[in-house]
């Protein structure tokens, strides 16, 4: 590079996990022959959902002037007003949250919302004070890692590991080590969790709500896979929101990842700030996602489709993947995180003689992509062997791809023991 880079710029010249992952994903999905893509977070193509969206697109194209308006006019930085109204009505009708459209902002994907939110609550503060985002439970979403404009942006906690029957385990928040000091600006948690498929229980969320409320900091809940849409949750949970919660949703895992539509529900002051940040970063959120999802939200059908089609689809795929791994890894030292939601299985390969980073390279050479576990501990800087013993495997691709990929993974693990 012939130009000098700022400190901020230099960070992007280094290794960026999410960039590598998205590159791997993009090239895998367009390569010929395609590798077996068990690595990325691309949602499945579910024909029933795609047909509904196609019909809505046809409806827009058939209405004189509607398509032209859609592609030709910026929305406000807060996002499409009819969509905000429809979301407001749906959440009030279903959960009685008593929100108004001023409690919601759209962003260009929820990834963008985290950029805005994290930098609102952490970084440099008046009087040279610094604050951090606390991740109360790692492993946690890789996409948070480089979002902070400042370095040393996170403080993260190791989980308590609960061992369950049938080679399952579950991470739980270790409340014994969780105290929210003055240096914490907000807590964030993905639920269901990427990469583990964990669904932090209602009781754990309640405890976090109490702790954040008394510390006077917001609790950011990343609901990219959660209820009421796309509802990729196989356990029973109660969606919650109040003025101390910042709830982030997305249309991506409903099946519209390329339309980059994120939804933030928060107290009005926060929504005003997020909207202003959107105006600076990108003028306005895209309009196509809101337009294609509008009727689904107005009618509430988005909830029914999520529950009956999307949740069922992933529930079946998750079970198939677990059954296959349990059969093919039988007798080896391994455990699977209890699959409660999202698109992933999180495998703990105990006593593996190599790191999972090395396993990733070996599998890549055999045409299978996975993600090594160490990427998913943003802010957990202390050495911990467990970080190098886990992998994330996506089961969203076609059955044949997933099944062949899992067999190659299992074979490789067996050959290493
Ligand atoms: C937990 C989690 N949060 C947020 C996102 C960002 O999604 P998007 O920007 O497509 O809304 C993802 C994407 O994979 C995710 O897994």
Q: Considering only CA atoms, which residue is closest to atom 12 of ligand 1? A: 224
- Do 76 and 42 have their domain in common? no
- Please report how many Cα atoms fall inside a 13 Å half-sphere around the Cα of residue 185, on the Cβ side: 17
Residue 111 beta carbon below 6 angstroms from any ligand 1 atom: yes
Quick: pLDDT tens for 39-49.
988 999 999 99
Q: What is the CATH number of the domain that holds 151?
A: 3.40.640.10
Burial class of residue 276, CB neighbours in 10 A (0-12, 13-18, 19+): middle
Ligand 1 centroid to Cα of residue 331, in Å, is 35
State the residue for tokens 């994290």: 118
pTM of the model: 0.96
Does 123 have pLDDT greater than 90?
yes
Among residues 254, 276, 301, the one where a domain terminates is 301
Does 21 have pLDDT greater than 80?
no
- Do 377 and 319 have their domain in common? yes
Among residues 279, 301, 323, the one where a domain terminates is 301
pLDDT score for 16: 81
- Do 289 and 379 have their domain in common? no
Does 54 have pLDDT greater than 90?
yes
Does 75 have pLDDT greater than 80?
yes
- Residue 251 CA: nearest ligand 1 atom is 11
Residue 41 beta carbon below 6 angstroms from any ligand 1 atom: yes
Ligand 1 centroid to Cα of residue 111, in Å, is 6
Residue 143 beta carbon below 6 angstroms from any ligand 1 atom: yes
What is the pLDDT averaged over residues 298-324? 98
Ligand 1 centroid to Cα of residue 39, in Å, is 14
In this prediction, residue 1 has a pLDDT band, given cuts at 50, 70 and 90, of low
Substitution candidate for ligand 1 out of 143, 232, 342, 394 with most atoms within 8 A of CB: 143
- Residue 112 CA: nearest ligand 1 atom is 9
Could you tell me the residue range of the domain that residue 339 belongs to? Answer: 7-46+305-416
Structural domain count of the chain: 2
Q: What is the CATH number of the domain that holds 375?
A: 3.90.1150.10
Substitution candidate for ligand 1 out of 39, 141, 288 with most atoms within 8 A of CB: 141
The answer to whether residue 137 is domain-embedded is yes
Residue 153 beta carbon below 6 angstroms from any ligand 1 atom: no
Ligand 1 centroid to Cα of residue 239, in Å, is 18
What is the pLDDT averaged over residues 306-315? 98
Does 133 have pLDDT greater than 80?
yes
């Amino acid at each position: 590079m012939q130009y000098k880079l700022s400190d901020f710029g230099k960070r992007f010249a280094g290794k960026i996990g999410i960039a590598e992952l998205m590159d791997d994903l993009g090239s895998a999905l367009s390569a010929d022959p395609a590798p077996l893509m068990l690595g990325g977070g691309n949602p499945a193509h579910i024909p029933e959902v795609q047909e509904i969206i196609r019909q809505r697109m046809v409806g827009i194209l058939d209405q004189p002037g509607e398509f032209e308006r859609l592609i030709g006019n910026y929305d406000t930085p807060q996002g499409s007003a009819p969509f905000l109204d429809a979301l407001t009505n749906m959440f009030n009708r279903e959960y009685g949250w008593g929100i108004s459209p001023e409690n919601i902002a759209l962003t260009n994907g929820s990834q963008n919302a985290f950029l805005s939110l994290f930098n609102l609550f952490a970084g440099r503060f008046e009087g040279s004070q610094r604050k951090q985002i606390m991740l109360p439970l790692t492993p946690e979403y890789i996409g948070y890692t480089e979002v902070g404009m400042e370095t040393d942006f996170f403080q993260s906690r190791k989980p308590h590991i609960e061992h369950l029957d049938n080679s399952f385990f579950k991470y739980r928040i270790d409340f014994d080590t969780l105290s929210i000091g003055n240096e914490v600006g907000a807590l964030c948690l993905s639920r269901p969790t990427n990469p583990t498929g964990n669904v932090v229980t209602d009781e754990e969320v309640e405890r976090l709500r109490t702790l954040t409320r008394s510390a006077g900091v917001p609790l950011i809940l990343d609901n990219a896979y959660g209820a009421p849409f796309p509802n990729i949750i196989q356990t029973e949970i109660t969606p919650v929101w109040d003025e101390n919660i910042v709830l982030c949703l997305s249309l991506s895992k409903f099946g519209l990842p390329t339309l980059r539509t994120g939804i933030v529900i928060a107290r009005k002051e926060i929504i005003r700030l997020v909207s202003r940040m959107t105006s600076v970063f990108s003028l306005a959120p895209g309009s196509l996602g809101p337009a294609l999802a509008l009727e689904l939200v107005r009618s509430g059908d988005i909830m029914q489709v999520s529950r009956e089609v999307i949740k069922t689809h992933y529930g079946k795929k998750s079970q198939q993947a677990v059954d296959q791994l349990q059969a093919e890894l039988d007798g080896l030292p391994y455990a699977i995180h209890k699959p409660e939601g999202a698109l992933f299985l999180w495998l703990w390969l105990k006593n593996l003689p190599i790191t999972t980073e090395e396993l990733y390279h070996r599998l890549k050479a055999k045409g299978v992509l996975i993600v090594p576990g160490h990427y998913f501990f943003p802010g957990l800087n202390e050495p911990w062997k467990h970080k190098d013993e886990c992998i994330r495997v996506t089961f969203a691709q076609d059955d044949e791809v997933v099944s062949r990929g899992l067999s190659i993974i299992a074979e490789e693990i067996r050959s290493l023991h």
